[in-house]
Structure 1
Amino acid sequence: MRSPTIKDVAEKAGVSLKTVSRVINNEPSVHERTREKVQRAIDALGYQPDPSARSLRGTRAWAIGLVYDNPNAHYVISMQNGVLSVCRERGFGLQIHPCDSTSPTLVEELCELVRRSRLAGLVLAPPMSEQKELIETLAKENIPFVRIISARKDPKDGYPCVFVDDRDAAYAITEHLIQLGHHRIGFLWGGKHHRSSPERYQGYEDALRAYGMPLDNELVVEGDYSFDDGFRGARKLLALEHRPTAIFGSNDEIAAGVLAAAKSGGIDVPWELSIAGFEDSPFSKQSWPALTTARQATTDIGRHATRRLIAELEREAHGIAGEISNEGFSPELVVRGSTAPIRK
């Protein structure tokens, strides 16, 4: 069977091709009842607009780019799912663009990507979203974008974003460990080129300070957001004469590495060592015991970022005045079997 066309939609809804086009393009001049009638016809026929064909026919672009550089496959897939779901809802195509955030030609690469692929705009994941030079250049080149950044509040710097309060969630994790009776709590960093790393460390440090506990630099180990660095960092901490009774890994991959190191050393988790991660990835649920973590709604964050970008595109396309507010997320503490009261 052939795929339904815009002509089929127009015939079923009893309207003109131009009216269907206006509904698909989300133009504000369509009466609400007419819009609903056309939408019912679209749903009944299963019609899907072709973003590439629409871009070629007109001057407006109908595809969005998702730009990322992240070793965490769970994060990338969850983000893609969130962005893609909104693109499908709104009739946009999606181009996935992994890249090297440290490349000296990154700015030129992304500008060329937008021009060559006729992209309407970009969703920027960390750490690209936190690079000032890149953001300023995209704005200067009039390339629409939205950033996903780690921040405690809306930065209000004039650039659109969705912000995630990593510091607050890290504070809650550290506080949970302190309230279980742990006084020697190790901390394993993620990659420092991600702003989430210092934000999560700040939450750890602030919680210790709030409870009147000293910060022991011997218990803090630098690394990256990876299982291997979690394993290596844990081995270093567990080799100390006065080893920690709890370890907070900056993400679940790190925490899973800590769990593997503990088991390889015959350490009973959680009774001899409590472990916490961050993000609520499959690592946290599939480990044994399951990991205490902070649930970060990555798919929802991707959805909100894409809606934010499309809202900006619609506002500019139709000459609508006013600003669109930025949205914030705060990951929630999830307590599982990897943390327990300190054994006296």
Structure 2
Amino acid sequence: MKTTINDVAKHAGVSIKTVSRVMNNEASVRQNTREKVMQSVSELNYHPNLAARSLAGTKSYSIAYIYDNPNAYYIIDMQRGILNACKKQGFELLIHPCDAKEVDIINEVTSMVKRTRIAGIILTPPFSEMPNFVEQLTQLDIKIVRILSGHSAPDTLTPCIMIDDNLASKAITEHLINNGHNKIGFLAGGAEHNSTTERLEGYKAALKQYNIALDPHLIIAGEYSFDSGVAGATTLINQTNKPTAIVSCNDEIAAGALFAARLMDIDVPKQLSITGFENSPFSRQTWPKLTTADQPNNKIAEDAANLLIAQIRNGDTRDIIKHYTPELLVRDSTTKI
């Protein structure tokens, strides 16, 4: 027979209301009471029916993550981090992939919100970087947290998790410069992503700081994909004034660049240093392993979910901004010249 909230209350010697307050993670519950109830929950293997609980009352215990991103590793890390927070705080997660280029995307998301009775949404690029889309979502009776590339929030519409891609990209480029490189290529991701702009600006800032002339021929437009890395690196390597190092906008692009170098019989890192960004499994599955920027997407996602749930429980906290700066992680794909 399935354990009920009545069983937990009786086992812990408290009221049903107290068990409910503990399961809702309400701050007003005394710590010793919380521990006693959670001990009973554990011993009785109690699992509350969150869907039924939401339907029975006016309060929703579900949040949604909507995304449109071709990088599977990024999506997996985001889902894992959000789920970690949801499990700890008694919330359910709805995962809803969307096409950001759809004309009626706001109608699709609005319909999903009304149909599922979610309490909040976590937005990652490109949705988090679409101000009109975000502003229309704020008209719904839900809370929103955005994950964005940049140092400061572009507006005050929602709480934000900011990732300083600019500073991280600057650190990667400085690492190459300090290793003696002054002809450094740049393989861009999709132009529609702010992360591409921020990482390009960090690359440019490092060159300027070290008085290295910017060569526009060394900057190659592309997408966040392996094939884009192959094509971009091939273009750079075939130039007369070819680079001795390449900064890639993410690890998938860098893995493609590494593959292109191998096809052209170029030794990495002896003849060409290559860097990635994000520290995804791509950076560890290549040979040699990629120097990259360690971006803890799992932790960022969990932080965003905790911020969203706090907003749902405590009311409006639009002025909250949290920052992450991916840290340089040196591996075997770069060396001195």
TM-score, normalised with respect to structure 1: 0.95
Distance 1:106 1:57, change over 3 A: same
Kindly indicate whether the alpha-carbon contact (under 8 Å) linking 1:147 and 1:305 is maintained by their aligned counterparts in 2: yes
What is the match of residue 340 of structure 1? Answer: 335
1:157, CA displacement in angstroms? 1.9
1:142, CA displacement in angstroms? 3.1
String of CA shifts for 1:178-204, please: whole Å, max 9, x gaps.
Answer: 010111100010011111110000000
Unaligned runs of 5+ residues in structure 2 are none
- Give identity over the alignment, percent: 49
What is the match of residue 166 of structure 1? Answer: 165
1:48, CA displacement in angstroms? 2.2
Residue type of the alignment partner of 1:122? I
The aligned runs of 1:1-344 (5 Å cut-off) are 2-155=1-154, 157-316=156-315, 325-342=320-337
Distance in 2 separating the partners of 1:227 and 1:174: 21
Distance in 2 separating the partners of 1:27 and 1:234: 54
String of CA shifts for 1:231-283, please: whole Å, max 9, x gaps.
Answer: 00000001101210001110000000000000000001000000000000111
Kindly indicate whether the alpha-carbon contact (under 8 Å) linking 2:138 and 2:157 is maintained by their aligned counterparts in 1: no
Distance in 2 separating the partners of 1:118 and 1:107: 16
Residue type of the alignment partner of 2:168? A
Distance in 2 separating the partners of 1:31 and 1:57: 26
Aligned residues: 337
Kindly indicate whether the alpha-carbon contact (under 8 Å) linking 1:252 and 1:293 is maintained by their aligned counterparts in 2: yes
Deviates more, 1:297-306 or 1:100-109: 100-109
1:32, CA displacement in angstroms? 3.1
Kindly indicate whether the alpha-carbon contact (under 8 Å) linking 1:48 and 1:91 is maintained by their aligned counterparts in 2: no
Residue type of the alignment partner of 2:288? P
String of CA shifts for 1:63-93, please: whole Å, max 9, x gaps.
Answer: 1100111111100000000000111111111
Residue type of the alignment partner of 2:31? E
3-state DSSP of counterpart to 1:48: coil
Residue type of the alignment partner of 1:148? I
1:16, CA displacement in angstroms? 1.3
Residue type of the alignment partner of 1:48? H
TM-score, normalised with respect to structure 2: 0.97
String of CA shifts for 1:291-335, please: whole Å, max 9, x gaps.
Answer: 00001000000000000000000113xxxx876632111101000
Distance in 2 separating the partners of 1:57 and 1:242: 68
Kindly indicate whether the alpha-carbon contact (under 8 Å) linking 2:65 and 2:95 is maintained by their aligned counterparts in 1: yes
Distance in 1 separating the partners of 2:218 and 2:32: 63
In the TM superposition, structure 1's runs of 4+ consecutive aligned residues that sit over 4 Å from their partners are 321-324
Kindly indicate whether the alpha-carbon contact (under 8 Å) linking 1:64 and 1:120 is maintained by their aligned counterparts in 2: yes
1:158, CA displacement in angstroms? 4.2
Residue type of the alignment partner of 2:229? G
1:163, CA displacement in angstroms? 0.8
Distance in 2 separating the partners of 1:100 and 1:322: 29
Q: CA RMSD in A?
A: 1.4
Distance 1:88 1:247, change over 3 A: same
Distance in 2 separating the partners of 1:31 and 1:294: 42
Kindly indicate whether the alpha-carbon contact (under 8 Å) linking 2:158 and 2:318 is maintained by their aligned counterparts in 1: no
3-state DSSP of counterpart to 2:32: helix
3-state DSSP of counterpart to 1:192: coil
3-state DSSP of counterpart to 2:138: helix
String of CA shifts for 1:83-113, please: whole Å, max 9, x gaps.
Answer: 0011111111111111111111111111111
